[in-house]
Structure 1
Amino acid sequence: METQKLQTFVTVATTLNYTEAAARLFTTQATVSKQILSLEKDLGVTLFSRAHRQVALTASGKAILPKAQAVLAATNELEAVVVAEQTGEGGLLRIRTVPSISSYRAFNQIAAFHQLHPEVKLQIAEMESDAVNNALKNGEADIVFTRLFEAPATNTEAYIGDTDEFVVVVPKGTPPAQAETLSVADLQDQDLLLLGESTHLFQPVARLFADAGATPHITYKGQRIDLILGMVSRGLGISIMMEKAIDLTDFPSLKTVKLDPTVHSQLAFIRPVGHHSATSDAFWQYIHQN
C-alpha cells in the first residue's frame, strides 16, 4: 500500500475538507478524491461519508485513522534515520533553479519535501539559466531546476514535471489584443520587450523570427519579468514570454494572445548520471512519487 494514500487519508481526516487537504498536500482536489477512492478500494471499506456536501469519518475511518497515523510516523522516522546514517546528521541538498520556479509544480514539490524531511539541510539559490547549467557542470549543485527546449544532455538524468509555451503579452484595447493568435509577421513591426540571452528565452524567440525571414525590432532586453510587464502596461511595446511564468494579477490592463507558431519548453529537475548522495536520491525518489 502506498504511504501517499495514507497521508492523503490522514490529511482529509484532519481537515474534513477536500479543498483544504489538497492545498496542504500541494496537489489538486481531484487527485485527493482519486487517492481516497483508491485507498477505500484497497481496504474494502468506506472511510468518509459525503452526505449533503459534508465530509465526515465513518466508523471504519475512525478505527483506521490512528493506525494510519502510526504507519506514517514510523515511515517518516525510518526515512530520517536512513538519510542521517548515510549522509551524516541531516545531510545537505544543493538545488540551483531558474527564477520562475514559483510558477511551476516544482516549487511545491521542494516545499513538501522540506516539510517531510526537516533533517535535510536545503540550500537553494536562484540563478539565470546559463548559471544554473554551469552550476551542475561545475559540481556546485546536486540538482538543478531549469527549462529545456531540447533533450537533456546524455550524461544527465531528468525529471520533467511541467511544459510551457510562448505567448504574446499585449495591452488590452490595442489592435494585437483583438486577435485570437498572432504570427511572427504580425509582430515584426512591433516594439519588442524581451528577456535577454542569459535567461535562455531570447534565443528561441530570435530563431522564430529567423525561420520566418523576419527581422524583429527589439526595444529592450532584460532579466526581470515584472519590469517588462510594467513597460508593456505603459505602452512601451509588447513582449513574448512563457505563459505559466507570467502573473498578470498586478497588471490588469494586460492580456496574453496565442503565438502561431509557438515554441514549447519543458521544466525539469536535472542531475548528473552516476553515484549520488542519499539526500539527492531521497529527493529524486520523492519527486517521482509525488
Structure 2
Amino acid sequence: MELRQIQYFIEVAKLEHVTEASYVLHVAQSAVSRQIFKLEAELGVDLFVRDGRKVRLTPIGKMFLGHMERALEVIEKAQQEIEDFLDPQRGTVKIGFPSSLASHMLPMVISAFRERYPNVQFQLQHGSYRELIDSVAKGSLNLALIGPVPKGGKQINGDTLFLEKIVALLPASHPLADRPTLKLSQLRGDMFVLFPEGFVLRDLVIDACEAQGFEPKISFEGDDIDAIKGLVAAGLGITLLPEIALNDNIPRSTVKIHFEDPQVTRTVGIITPASRELPPTEKLFYDFIKTFFVSVGKFNHE
C-alpha cells in the first residue's frame, strides 16, 4: 500500500467522482483509476460501487476511509514535525483562538511574530472556551489563546499574558450613556444581552453581578459577539464584554463605559499541553508571545 494510493482513495471517497478527484489531484483520470484498482486488488475487497460516472463507498470502504484519514493525519503531522525540526523558522504554527481575541489580539501577535520570522506559516482554528481546552488536552492542538486562563488543569498548562478589563456596552439612549465611568450596581435594573449557558463570558458576567448582590435579568441571548453588539445597538438591552472585543469596532448607537467599582477583569493567556513537548516552531512562537507581552508591559488597546 502506497501513500499515493491512500491520498487518491481519500479524494475519490470525498468527491464520489474519479474525474473530479483527478482535477483536484492534478493527475490524469486514468492514473487515479489505476491506483484505486491496485489498492482494491491488494486488499482483496471492493472499496467502491460504480454508479455511472459516480462512485460510492461500500460498507468496508467506509470503514477503511476512517482508518486512512487518521493514518494520513499521523503521516502529515510527522512530516511537519520533521520539517520544523530541520528549520523551526520555516515550520507551521497551529493555534486555536476564541472569537473575543480574533479581531485585534491574534492579528497583532502574528504580525509581530512574522516580522521576525517571515517564513513561518500559521493554521488558525476557532473554537469556544471548552473546545479549545479539550483540543489542547487531547492533542489536536498544542497552542490556544484563551481568556480567562483556566486554573488547576492536569492535562494543560496555562500562562497568563495580561489582565483585561471587562466594560459595559450600552445603547446611546441609555440614561447612563453620558457617564464617564459606572458602578456595576447601577445596572441592577437593566435587561442584559448575554451569551447562552455554557459560555464562559456569560458565567463571568453573572458572577460579577452576583458579587454585587443581584442577578442580571436576561432579555436576549446570542452566541456571536457581533450579534450581541447588534442587539445592544437596537436598544434591546445592555451587555458586558472584554474590551478587546470592542477595539475599533463599537457599533453606532452604542457607547463603551469602563467600571470604577468594582473593576471587572479577566486573565488572557495561552494554554499548552502538560504532557507533550511543543514542536520546535510552535515552541518558537510560544516563547515569542510570552516575551512580547512582557516587553510591552501590559496590553494597551486604547
Q: TM-score, normalised by structure 1?
A: 0.62
Cα gap change, 1:105 to 1:235, in 2 (>3 Å): closer
Equivalent of residue 280 in structure 2, options 274, 278, 281: 278
Secondary structure at the residue paired with 2:251? coil
Change in CA separation of 1:198 and 1:123 when aligned onto 2, cut-off 3 Å:
farther
- Quote the sequence identity (%): 22
Equivalence for 1:101: 101
Tell me which residue corresponds to 1:206.
206
TM-score of the two chains, using structure 2 as the length reference: 0.60
Asked whether the 8 Å contact 1:128–1:198 carries over to 2, the reply is no
CA RMSD of aligned residues (A): 2.9
Question: Which residue of structure 1 aligns with residue 263 of structure 2?
Answer: 262
Alpha carbons 1:106, 1:161 under 8 Å: kept: no
Deviates more, 1:179-188 or 1:263-272: 179-188
Gaps of 5+ in 2: 1-81, 293-302
Q: In the TM superposition, what is the alpha-carbon distance from 1:228 to its structure 2 partner? A: 1.5
- 2-side partners of 1:281 and 1:216: how far apart? 42
Secondary structure of the residue aligned to 2:132 is helix
Q: How many Å apart are 1:280 and its aligned residue?
A: 1.8
Give the conservation status (yes or no) of the 8 Å contact 2:145–2:268. Answer: yes
- Give the C-alpha shift of residue 111 in structure 1: 3.2
Q: Given the superposition, is the C-alpha separation of residues 102 and 143 from structure 1 closer, same or farther in structure 2, using an over 3 Å criterion?
A: same
Kindly provide the CA deviation profile for residues 142-171 of structure 1, in whole angstroms up to 9, marking residues without a partner as x: 101000266463654444333212211112
Aligned-pair CA distance for 1:258: 2.4
Provide the residue aligned with 1:113 in structure 2. Answer: 113
Deviation at 1:194, TM superposition (A): 1.3
**Corresponding position of 1:177:** 177
Structure 1: unaligned runs, 5 residues or longer? 1-80
Contact conserved, 1:95 with 1:123, CA < 8 A, in 2?
yes
Q: Summarize the Cα distance change of 1:139–1:108 in structure 2 as closer, same or farther, 3 Å threshold.
A: same
2:256 aligned with 1:217? no
Q: Matched residue of 1:176: which SS? A: coil
Q: 1:234 to 1:270 in 2, by over 3 A?
A: same
**Maintained 8 Å contact 2:100/2:245:** yes
Q: Give, in whole Å, the separation in 2 of the partners of 1:235 and 1:194.
A: 14
- Distance in 1 (alpha carbons) for counterparts of 2:162 and 2:169: 21
- Pair member with larger Rg: 2
Asked if structure 1 preserves the Cα contact closer than 8 Å seen for 2:83 and 2:91, the reply is no
Matched letter for residue 177 of structure 2:
A
